[in-house]
Amino acid sequence: MKASSASFRLKQSSSSAKTLACRKVSAGSNVPKLFDNLEDEQLLTADQLAERLNIAVRTVRKWRYEKVLPSECMVKLRHQVRYRWGKVLAWIATKEV
C-alpha cells in the first residue's frame, strides 16, 4: 500500500471535546504538522536497525549484550527487544569525533 503525500490535521469535533476528526490539509499549507517526529519514535528490530545503520546485525546484538548501547535506546516488549530510532540517532550524535 502506497503512502499518500497529503498530510492530515486533527481538529476537535463540535459534538464532543473527546472526539477528534481528521481534515485533509493541502501540501503547501502553513498548518503545523502534527507528529513531525514519528520517524524518530519508531521501534525497530535488531535487523531493521542494522540495515538503517549499514552494520551487521551481530554488531547491534553485541552492543546490547556488552551494554555499549544505552538502555534508554531499547524497549523490551515481552520477550522481544526493540530499538528506539530517535534515541539511537541521539546516541550516535554524541559519539561523533
Is 67 contained in some domain?
yes
Please state the pTM of the whole predicted model. Answer: 0.58
- What is the Cα–Cα distance from 75 to 44, expressed in whole angstroms? 10
pLDDT 10s digits, 21-48: 444 444 555 544 444 555 668 899 999 9
Is 32 contained in some domain?
no
- What is the Cα–Cα distance from 97 to 94, expressed in whole angstroms? 9
Is 35 contained in some domain?
no
Is 82 contained in some domain?
yes
Total number of domains in the chain: 1
Q: What is the mean pLDDT of residues 8-30?
A: 43
**Angle, helix 46-53 to helix 57-65, in steps of 10 degrees:** 110
Is 4 contained in some domain?
no
Q: What are phi and psi of 3, to 5 degrees?
A: -80, 140
Q: What are phi and psi of 76, to 5 degrees?
A: -105, 120
Is 47 contained in some domain?
yes
Is 31 contained in some domain?
no
Identify the CA nearest to 83 among candidates 96, 57, 95.
57
Q: Which domain holds residue 58?
A: 43-94
Identify the CA nearest to 69 among candidates 54, 51, 80, 85.
85
